[in-house]
Structure formats: C-alpha cells, structure tokens
Structure 1
Amino acid sequence: MTNTISDLLESAAKRAVPVVLGITDERLSDPTPCSEYDVRALTDHLMQVVINFQALAAKKNADFASVPHYIDDAGGWRARFADETARLVAAWAAPGAEEGTSGTMGFPARTVGHMVLGDLTVHAWDLARATGQEFTPDPAVVGEIGPALAEMAPMGRKGGVFGEPFPLPDDKEVSDFHRVLALTGRDPHWQPEHPE
C-alpha cells in the first residue's frame, strides 16, 4: 500500500520538530551543510517551505520569491515551527490534496508532496548536523524520497536547488539516506569547522 504524503510528513515532522526546538540562539550564525545558508537563514527557509506547501496542498499559489525573516529574538519561532508543521500535515491530509496539480508549479500534487517531504527531512539533517544534534530519518520517508528526488535531480540542478552529486564509494554499506544526501549535493559526513 502506498503511504500517503500526510502520513509520511507526520513521521518526518516528528523527527524535524525536535531539531528546530533544539536550536539555541548561540548557534543561529553557525554554518550549515548548505553553504549559502547559516542556521538562521536555513531555519527561515525551512519555515517558508512549511508554510508555502500548506498553500500548495490546497491548490493555492505560494510565494518563494521573498526572503523570509521568521527568526526573532523573542524565540516564539520555535513553537511556531511546530504549529506550522502540524498545519502542513493537516493540509496534506485534506481530501484531494494528492490529486491533480498544485498551484503555479503545475506539477502533480504527489510530486509537490515529495518536494516538501524531501525538504523537511534533508533540511532537518542540515540543521541537526550544524547544531550538534542527532537526527535519524524514518526509513519509510527515505524510501519514498530517494526515487522521487532522483527523478527531480536534473531539474533541481538546473534550477540551482540541488548541487552536483557528492561522490560516494560504490559500497553496499552506504546507507540509503546518505545516497539521498549525496544526490542533493551534500557530503553525508559534513561536520562544522568547530565541532562540539
């Protein structure tokens, strides 16, 4: 049986939300595996993704042109991320969310669902790695996003969303998730320059 996007997102959220809740203010300017983002900018980006893909689930348009600034000194952004992620799961559980096409993207809705599932999972790893936290994705999520992101990769690279594939050894010991990370241009063994 095919897993629904909402079920997969719920599982991914259970692993991503604790990572965001665990980001301390002192780590916001730290580098991440996404070289163009520090922790603050990547968390802002992930919040934007979570909010915009709620709209896309409802077949509405989303705004990715603006640069968001959700992270503030008051700290309420952590709880907001948890709330918005719950809304994302609910949006993709709504009847018809996985049918037809989504917003101005013009992609099949399930493909759009795979996009947000990939972002939530991979960026949670980015943030965990950048801030010294543990992160283990759900194998069912990895099994879903692996083939989906492989299919999207040429388009993602052309649009600058994915980097060039990171070379991995031809080894059966390489995990499926490491293959996903490498596919998106990440070094699965990336560490901050100043580890804990």
Structure 2
Amino acid sequence: MSDKISNMLEAAADRTVTVVRGITDEQLGAPTPCSEYDVRALAAHLFQVVVNFQALAAKKDADFTVPPEPLEGAWRERFAEETVRLVEAWAVPGADEGTTGAMGLPARTVGAMVLGDLTVHGWDLARATGQPYEPAGVLLDVVGEEFRALAPMGREMGMFGEPVPVAEDAGPFEVLLAETGRDPGWTRR
C-alpha cells in the first residue's frame, strides 16, 4: 500500500464501514468511548465528517457548525457510499497538495485528520457495539505522527481529551487512542 492519503483512506474506510454495517438499531443509544456521544450521535458525526472532508479534498470550505443529519432509512449503506466518494475525492491528483479550505492547513494534514477520524471513531463504534476492530498498520505511523502534532490544537478546540497514560509496552494504536484522550481499555457496559 502506498502512503497516498486516498489509499490509506480506502483501508480505513473498509474497516469502519464493516463496523457501521454491524451496528444494530438497538445499539444506537449505547455509550461510546467519546463520553459526549452515544452510538447514534457518533455515527452521525462521522457521517458528517466523511461528507465534509470530501469538500476539503476539493479545496472547498466545509461547515462543521451545522448539526449532523439524523440517521434515517438506509443510512448504513449511504455511509458506505459516502466513504467511496471520500476516497475518490482524495484520489484526485493534487488533493493532498497545497492548503485546504478555510482551515489553512496543509492538505496532507487535513487528509490525515479524516484518516484519523475514520480509524479512531471506527474503533469507538466497534468498542461501543462489541465488534472487533483492528486498524490497518500502515495508517498508524501517518495518523500517529499527524495527531501528535495536532494534539495541542485539538485539545484547545475540544476535539481531543487530555492524554491517557498507557503502559510502556503499549502498541502504536493504544498510544494513538491515549493521545486523543481515550482509554484503550474502554469496554462497553
């Protein structure tokens, strides 16, 4: 697998789409490792992220202040379709070059942000619904590096919690989760 954002997004999306398809209606009210979201709210948030980051790939602005659309009808399949569009948007030549939208951040950093959201929120949803989740290993170096750099700004903006301590022998994914303020040992009730 190359280190192109679109290739890594495809790997992350495949894993997260599998989790989203496995969410039952009865699980939508369950808590997640993101204490401010239940499964329904987190899935809706991730859906919104996937759509907005398509615009950012095209160097357009995205509005994250608009509340996410409610999950209705065949939302799981629509989520899968939107992840395909996300991968396609980031595969366009030049998508990961220059700066992106009003964020004014390097496009590759913005691509790593959505890659991280798919990976970390995929884990959140899997944990909340009792599903397995193993991120693609190649993603962890890119996401870990970018998230370490973004962590101070992420905490300031309320997107990341305070880091959680992990054991010295923690793996890269556990370290990444802890850096975002998640307890890698979180389990559903």
Instruction: Sort the TM-score into its range (normalised by shorter chain).
Output: over 0.9
SS of structure 2 residue aligned to 1:134: coil
Q: 2:176 matched to 1:188?
A: no
Aligned pairs for 1:108-147 within 5 A: 108-147=106-145
Provide Cα deviations, 1:31-58, integer angstroms capped at 9, x if missing partner. 0000000000000000000000000000
Identity over aligned pairs, percent: 61
For residues 41 and 133 of structure 1, what CA distance do their matches in structure 2 show?
18
Q: What letter corresponds to residue 68 of structure 1 in structure 2?
A: P
What is the distance in 2 between the residues matched to 1:22 and 1:148? 29
- Mapped to 1, the partners of 2:48 and 2:136 lie a distance apart of 23
Q: In the aligned structure 2, how far is the partner of 1:11 from the partner of 1:192?
A: 25
1:179 to 172, 175, 178: 175
Give the TM-score of the pair, scaled to structure 1. 0.94
**Cross-structure match for 1:43:** 43
Q: CA deviation at 1:2?
A: 6.1
* Cα deviation, residue 99, structure 1: 1.1
Asked if 2 retains the 8 angstrom alpha-carbon contact of 1:70 and 1:77, the reply is no
2:15 counterpart of 1:15: yes
| Matching residue of 2:69 | 69
Q: Distance in 1 between matches of 2:176 and 2:144?
A: 6
**1:3 alignment partner, SS class:** coil
1:93 deviation in Å? 0.2
Letter in 2 for 1:84: E
Amino acid at match of 2:118: L
Q: What CA distance in whole angstroms lies between the structure 1 residues aligned with 2:67 and 2:124?
A: 19
Distance 1:29 1:77 in 2: 16
1:165 aligns with 2:163: yes
CA contact (8 A) 1:46 1:120 kept: yes
Local SS of the residue matching 2:20: helix
Shift of 1:5: 0.2
Contact 1:47 1:70 (8 Å CA) reproduced: no
CA–CA distance in 1 between the matches of 2:148 and 2:4? 19
Query: CA separation in 2, counterparts of 1:18 and 1:137?
Result: 12
**CA distance, structure 2, for counterparts of residue 28 and residue 115 of structure 1:** 25
Aligned residue pairs: how many? 189
Distance 2:184 2:67 in 1: 27
Q: Deviation of residue 67 (structure 1)?
A: 1.1
Q: By how many angstroms is 1:69 displaced?
A: 2.3
Q: Where do 4+ consecutive residues of structure 1 move more than 6 Å?
A: none
With the length of structure 2 as denominator, give the TM-score of the two structures.
Answer: 0.98
Output the CA distance in 2 between the equivalents of 1:127 and 1:187: 14
Tell me, in whole angstroms, the C-alpha distance in 1 between the residues paired with 2:69 and 2:29: 14
